[in-house]
């Protein structure tokens, strides 16, 4: 096992496209790090530079303390799992798993033992004599995992390995891969565009946008403390609700004005965001998670007046989509989020106000078309600078 270090790494292609910009990132020995971001953000390019499949234009790439910028891929002691499985159709499962060992001229007895051990970990023992065409998609992906595991490399690299599977199987395989990684303790870099995979699998998440690293943190910390609007809008399902509001102050009390409505800010919000004082009388972008809102008939207190457009009854909660007479948050980040995910992920970008979603308790019995009062836990609210997109904190 080994740590992996990106030290101001850049990748610039011959046509001038700058795919990765000054990437500095330390991945600890035994860590499971997920590189996540929209298509074209540079995450797969970064992974391929670790693998030696892409040259590093500048900066240093280190594996286990050794600079590997010019080290051939075969000499880096890494194993890669691809989206396409990359199995040999004419070989059995056992032969596919042991292929790398055979190339290394591993003694047959040892090779058989290692293949059986890997197959047992992946619940593939009964399929060892089958060929890939006789397996399901999930089983094929397990074989690809087995081929990586059996080599006992310093680093596992996984490039969108679950994207070809259906939703149910993806959920199952997420759990299995995370468990295998914990059991083996091998340093792992996992690339995905799916933020749910990132949140549920990694020890830490590294979120990229247009070749630039945006934030690195443990999943829950990133969810609760996004550094900027892009992180806030990309991480979380449903995404964070956002709108433009004016910050006002009356003595020691702060409030935000959303269209014709006003929300008083809780003292806890001010304590956690001391720099808000610099924005009094100015526009800011506010953000609130769906679970931090409730129907006033259940929660009590004054709330925002809105119209319920759509209600999804999920048993344990009601997902209530409503329109608010407020100004949308229109920044470069929100435009990028809209182009990446569409209206369902960037609900603040509508022409007749903003469309938010709240998670109500089932006993709210909210119905589409109703006029509702939405109580907002302003102590959990997020605040962003509309010019820089950066979070406003202490």
Token digits of residue 376: 């907002």
What would you measure as the largest C-alpha separation in the chain, in angstroms?
80
More confident residue, 17 or 353: 17
- 380-384 average pLDDT score: 97
pLDDT greater than 70 at residue 216: yes
pLDDT greater than 60 at residue 346: no
Please tell me the least confidently modeled range out of 216-225, 238-247, 295-304.
295-304
Q: Are 304 and 376 in contact (CB under 8 A)?
A: yes
Q: CA 125, CA 128: separation in Å to the nearest integer?
A: 6
Mean pLDDT score across all residues of the chain:
91
Q: Are 243 and 334 in contact (CB under 8 A)?
A: no
Question: Distance of CA 233 to CAs 143, 253, 298, 341, Å?
Answer: 35, 28, 27, 10
- 263-291 average pLDDT score: 94
Output the pLDDT for position 352.
66
Q: What percent of the chain has pLDDT over 70?
A: 97
DSSP 3-state of 355: strand
Give rounded-to-5 percent helix, strand, coil for the chain: 30, 30, 35
Output the pLDDT for position 344.
46
Output the pLDDT for position 351.
46
The C-alpha angle with vertex 386 and arms to 381 and 392, in degrees rounded to 5, equals 45
Output the pLDDT for position 230.
96
Q: CA 249, CA 25: separation in Å to the nearest integer?
A: 41
Cβ neighbours for 250, distance < 8 A, ≥ 6 positions apart? none
Q: What are phi and psi of 369, to 5 degrees?
A: 90, -10
**Alpha helix locations (H) across 80-136?**
93-97, 99-103, 108-121
Strongest mean pLDDT among 85-89, 96-100, 222-226: 222-226
Q: What is the pLDDT of residues 6-24, one digit of tens each?
A: 999 999 999 999 999 999 9
Specify which residues 156 forms β-bridges with. Answer: 79, 188
pLDDT greater than 90 at residue 34: yes
Contacts by residues 364-369 (CB-CB < 8 Å, ≥ 24 positions apart)? 364/294, 364/295, 364/297, 364/298, 364/318, 364/320, 366/295, 366/308, 366/311, 366/318, 366/320, 367/308, 367/311, 368/308, 368/309, 368/310, 368/311, 369/307, 369/308
Confidence band, pLDDT 50/70/90 cuts, at residue 104 = confident
Question: Distance of CA 390 to CAs 208, 215, 230, Å?
Answer: 15, 11, 9
Q: Are 375 and 323 in contact (CB under 8 A)?
A: no
DSSP 3-state of 23: strand
The C-alpha angle with vertex 328 and arms to 327 and 333, in degrees rounded to 5, equals 145
Q: Are 11 and 57 in contact (CB under 8 A)?
A: yes
Output the pLDDT for position 342.
58
The Cβ of residue 166 has, within 10 Å, a number of other Cβ atoms equal to: 10
pLDDT greater than 80 at residue 343: no
Positive or negative, the CA dihedral 122, 124, 128, 132 is: negative
């Amino acid at each position: 096992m080994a740590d992996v270090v990106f030290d101001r790494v850049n990748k610039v292609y011959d046509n001038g496209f700058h795919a990765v910009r000054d990437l500095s990132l330390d991945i600890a020995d035994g860590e499971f790090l997920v590189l996540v971001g929209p298509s074209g953000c540079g995450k797969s390019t970064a992974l391929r530079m670790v693998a030696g499949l892409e040259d590093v234009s500048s900066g240093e790439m280190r594996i286990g303390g050794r600079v590997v910028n010019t080290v051939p891929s075969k000499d880096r002691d890494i194993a890669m799992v691809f989206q396409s499985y990359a199995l040999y159709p004419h070989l059995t499962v056992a032969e596919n798993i042991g292929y790398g060992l055979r190339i290394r001229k591993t003694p047959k007895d040892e090779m058989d033992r290692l293949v059986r051990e890997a197959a047992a970990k992946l619940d593939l023992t009964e399929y060892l004599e089958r060929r890939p065409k006789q397996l399901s998609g999930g089983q094929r992906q397990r074989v690809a995992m087995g081929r990586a595991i059996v080599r006992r490399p310093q680093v596992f690299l996984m490039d969108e390995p679950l994207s070809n599977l259906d939703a149910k199987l993806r959920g199952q395989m997420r759990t299995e891969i995370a468990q295998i990684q914990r059991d083996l303790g091998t340093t792992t870099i996992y690339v995905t565009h799916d933020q749910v995979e990132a949140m549920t699998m990694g020890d830490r998440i590294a979120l990229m946008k247009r070749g630039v690293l945006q934030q690195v943190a443990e999943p829950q910390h990133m969810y609760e403390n996004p550094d900027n609007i892009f992180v806030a809008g990309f991480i979380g399902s449903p995404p964070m609700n956002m709108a433009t509001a004016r910050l006002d102050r009356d003595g020691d009390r702060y409030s935000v004005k959303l269209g014709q409505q006003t929300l008083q800010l809780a003292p806890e919000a001010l304590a956690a965001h001391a720099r808000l004082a610099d924005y009094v009388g100015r526009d800011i972008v506010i953000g609130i998670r769906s679970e931090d809102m409730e129907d006033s008939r259940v929660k009590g207190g004054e709330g925002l007046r809105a119209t319920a457009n759509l209600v999804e009854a999920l048993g344990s909660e009601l997902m209530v989509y409503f329109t608010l007479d407020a100004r949308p948050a229109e920044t470069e980040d929100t435009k990028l989020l809209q182009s990446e995910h569409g209206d369902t992920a960037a609900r603040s970008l509508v022409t007749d106000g903003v469309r938010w979603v709240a998670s109500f308790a089932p006993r709210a019995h909210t119905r589409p078309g109703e006029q509702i009062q939405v109580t907002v836990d302003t102590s959990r609210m997020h605040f962003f600078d509309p010019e820089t997109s950066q979070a406003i904190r202490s």
